[in-house]
Amino acid sequence: MSALTLKVAVNLVNQAISAGRAISAAPLTVAVLDASGHLVTLQREDGASLLRPQIAIGKAWGAIALGKGSRLLALDAQQRPAFIAALNSLGQGSVVPAPGGC
């Protein structure tokens, strides 16, 4: 696996935003975290709502913490809400188990 450099992270964000524009998605906020869960880069499009940065980081953090995409985390939240609640307690509220993104 190659290292996640700032250059790679910025390229990923640009690709995600381009994909969003191609499908006329609502304004995006894209966060890229390293394998340790530290923010490498975040970009918020004009018009993205107030909490989008925290939501994007929470989705990415949860995916890294459990090693699965945010869609699977959303499914876990439906099927095992007590587990997700415990996970959020351990992670000090850092997990956003909602589909979208990774």
Pick the CATH number of 6-90 from 3.30.450.150, 3.90.228.20, 3.40.50.1480, 3.40.50.20: 3.30.450.150
- pLDDT at residue 5 above 60? yes
For residue range 24-43, list pLDDT tens digits in order.
Answer: 999 999 999 999 999 999 99
Q: What is the pTM of this model?
A: 0.84
Spatial distance between the Cα atoms of 86 and 100, rounded to a whole number of angstroms: 22
Is 95:87 a contact under the CB 8 Å cutoff? yes
DSSP structural state of residue 14: H
Mean pLDDT is lowest, of 37-41, 48-52, 68-72, 94-98, for 94-98
**pLDDT, greater one: 22 or 94:** 22
Q: Which residue, among 60, 61, 5, 69, has the nearest Cα to 30 in the 3D structure?
A: 60
